[in-house]
Structure formats: structure tokens, C-alpha cells
Amino acid sequence: MKRKVAEAGMIAALYVALCFLVLPLASGAIQCRVGEALCVLPVFTAAGIPGVTIGCFLFNLLSGGAVWDVIFGTLATLIGAIGTRLLRKAKPKALALLPPVLSNTLIIPFVLKFAYGLEGTIWFFMLTVCAGEIVSVLILGSILRYALEKEKRIFPPENTGDEE
């Protein structure tokens, strides 16, 4: 239990740090949150779910996000993380990374339009959010997954089962 709490805390901190590292790219109509690559971590540990969710919440809060962004942006990440965990054994492996892309693509455009009042259509925001999620989750997340599968000491195989 202590290990899972520590893992979740480290994941949350890393999510926030990665997003602040590329702050201009992490928010707005066209965004690519590098921290979203961590949405692959629920494949390896259940602690990835609270880790990325809390990380998203903290980043949205600390970066001055609108209250609706803090709420619905966090919800989108939570839904995506749960979906990734549920699909962790899916073939092909890329299927496990689709839930964060889909949840953000369907939820965040409404936040951009109505919470921030940005100029543009919901369809335009869906396209831009989806593009950013493809880069951060599907591309960077796949690279991270490949690296973590090769390095078994970070998330040992016995921690990837259903015992959690």
C-alpha cells in the first residue's frame, strides 16, 4: 500500500513538472501536454490512475486554470486513466492508449469554448485537442511504454496483475 501511494505521488509530481516544463504548449486551444504521456502508466500500476489524475488537477489549479477546467479537465484524465487500466492487456497494445485521447477530445473542447470563451468551433477544438493527445499520449506514451517494458525494475511484473 505504501508503495502505491508513493508511486501515485511521484507520478503526480512528474505530471506537473512535465507540464510546467513546456508551459506554453500545455494549455490553450492548441495544446500538447507532455505530462499526458504518463497516461500510459495505468498499464503498469493501478497507482497510475490517481497519479495522473492528481497531477492533472494540480497542474490545472497551479497554472491558473478556470474552475471548469480544473473540474472537467481532471475528470477527462480520470476517465482516460481508468480506461487505460481496463485495456492494459488489450491487443494491439495501442488500444490501451485510446481512452485518454478520446476522453480529452470529447470533453476539453467544451471547456475551451465555454470556460475560456475561446474563438472557434467545438469541432475545431476537438481537432486541436485530439492532435495534441495523439502526440503526447499515442506517440510519447508509446515510447514511454516501450522503455518501461524493457526496464522491468521500475514496475516489476508481479505489480502488474489484478491483485491490486
The pLDDT tens digits for 30-50 are 788 899 999 999 999 999 999
Q: In the prediction, which pLDDT does 90 show?
A: 95
Quick one: how far is CA 24 from the chain centroid?
Answer: 17
Q: Which residues of 109-148 are buried (b: 16+ CB within 10 A; e: fewer)?
A: bebbbebbeeeeeeebbbebbbebbbbbbbebbbebbeeb
Element (H, E) at 67: helix 67-86
Give SS3 for 140.
helix
Asked whether 156 and 45 are in contact (CB, 8 A), the reply is: no
- For residue 163, the model assigns a pLDDT of 46
SS3 156: coil
**Contact partners, residue 150, CB within 8 Å, separation at least 6:** none
Label residue 71 exposed, middle or buried (CB < 10 Å: 0-12, 13-18, 19+). middle
Ranking 22-26, 54-58, 127-131, 141-145 by mean pLDDT, the lowest is 22-26
DSSP 1: -
CATH class of the domain defined by 2-152: mainly alpha
How many whole angstroms separate alpha carbon 102 and alpha carbon 88?
16
At 158, is the pLDDT very low, low, confident or very high (cuts 50, 70, 90)?
low
For the segment 137-146, the average pLDDT, to the nearest whole number, is: 96
pLDDT at 113 over 90: yes
pTM here is 0.90
If DSSP codes are grouped into helix, strand and coil, which group holds residue 100? helix
Digit-coded pLDDT (tens) for 65-103: 999 999 999 999 999 999 999 999 999 999 999 999 999
Q: Is the pLDDT of residue 162 over 50?
A: no
